[in-house]
Amino acid sequence: MASYKKLLCIGLALDPIHVGSGGARLGRVELTIVRDPVTRIPKIPGSSLAGVYRTYVAMAEHESNPGRTRPYYPHCAGLGQPKGKDYLGHCAQPDCPVCTVFGFARGKDQAGGFAGLAAFTDAHVLLFPVPTRQGPRWVTCPDALRLVGLEVQGVDQDAVYFGSSQNTPLNLGWLLLPVMSFGQFQNIVQSLQSCGVPSYIYERLALVPDRLFPHIVNSNLEVRTSVAINPATGAAEEQALFSYEALPRGTVLAWEIIAKNPKHFLIGGKEICAVKTPDDVHQKVQVAHPYLEHLGIGGMGTRGMGRLKVLYPSPAAENSVPKKVNCRDSATSTTDSPSGLSESSTGLPEE
Ligand SMILES: [Zn+2]
């Protein structure tokens, strides 16, 4: 049996998405987002994806297994390190769909921990919406199309490529470019269609060379300015104006989830039984997708940011239905409770 299996995911930003770089910068925008160090194109790091997937899978498992003595949420979500007296950390059981798929930590030196069966790549921009005088256009480039397995040659002029050429140049944001025709354009459209990209996006596709794409993305990000409000006066706080940037609503992102074969690993000397094949791992991670669409990813969630709708794999697919745990010794491990803790302990991690 294969040691691993890859799953391509494609998602549409329903809101602007702000995954902060964790630092303030002097310049046009104070709170910047994470970028690829080479292309300078904003991305969502795999670590951010892994964190939210873990949380949402734990929530879903908690909702479908409400009687578990040691609830999947919050104990198997998050970092799992002991914080506060009621916090237990990760359960680390071979029948736990959260701890087996996402791994768990044990102790300061991480000894006795488990790396997890699912690995997440960074989510990269596949299609980026840009205002033009002909309405919005979703821009892509050969490098971005490689994310969905397309090899595109011959896009090298300083131009925007459509299925057919037109005489008047087109503006992509502030950039004015001649319009050229591209022979394989319809193949690209069909591939995007088979990836679940909606028609209002693939019918407004624009192809540009790799070197122009980062400029077009970075000069068309959403930038917002906020100010802190003084609760006593209800007026703006002095010197508390700040700005932040985000991938705009309508951005299409692509990432991969690599599932390792559970048969190759043991937890505490026992076989993993929460998931038995790489396909099971992919089924488990996909239960997070409806949560991603409603609870979102990244920061500024209280300011209308973050929701990401997964277009591919299709949410209607049968494999999005969570599978029940089928384990020989699950009866002992699911009711297992460390000494001194009663069923009423619902300690949330202390922030
Ligand atoms: Zn667990």
Q: How confident is the model at residue 334 (pLDDT cuts 50, 70, 90)?
A: very low
**pLDDT beyond 50 at 338:** no
Of 42-51, 100-109, 240-249, 304-313, where does mean pLDDT reach its minimum? 100-109
Select from 116, 125, 123, 128 the least CA-distant residue to 45: 123
Give the model's pLDDT for residue 84: 63
* Ligand 1 midpoint to CA 319 (Å): 22
* Ligand 1 midpoint to CA 278 (Å): 19
* Ligand 1 midpoint to CA 98 (Å): 5
* Ligand 1 midpoint to CA 154 (Å): 50
Give the model's pLDDT for residue 340: 36
Q: Output the average pLDDT for the chain.
A: 86
* Ligand 1 midpoint to CA 338 (Å): 14
* Ligand 1 midpoint to CA 226 (Å): 39
CB atoms within 10 A of CB 38: 7
Task: Measure the CA–CA gap between 116 and 41, rounded to whole angstroms.
Answer: 29
Of 4-18, 29-43, 148-162, 323-337, where does mean pLDDT reach its minimum? 323-337
What 3-state DSSP class applies to 96?
coil
* Ligand 1 midpoint to CA 93 (Å): 6
**pLDDT beyond 70 at 198:** yes
* Ligand 1 midpoint to CA 47 (Å): 19
**pLDDT beyond 50 at 343:** no
* Ligand 1 midpoint to CA 178 (Å): 56
Q: How confident is the model at residue 109 (pLDDT cuts 50, 70, 90)?
A: low
Do residues 66 and 73 make contact, with C-beta atoms less than 8 angstroms apart?
no
220: left (phi over 0), alpha (psi -120 to 50) or beta: alpha
Q: What's the pTM?
A: 0.86
Cβ partners under 8 Å of residue 75, min gap 6:
87, 88, 89, 90, 91
Give the model's pLDDT for residue 165: 86
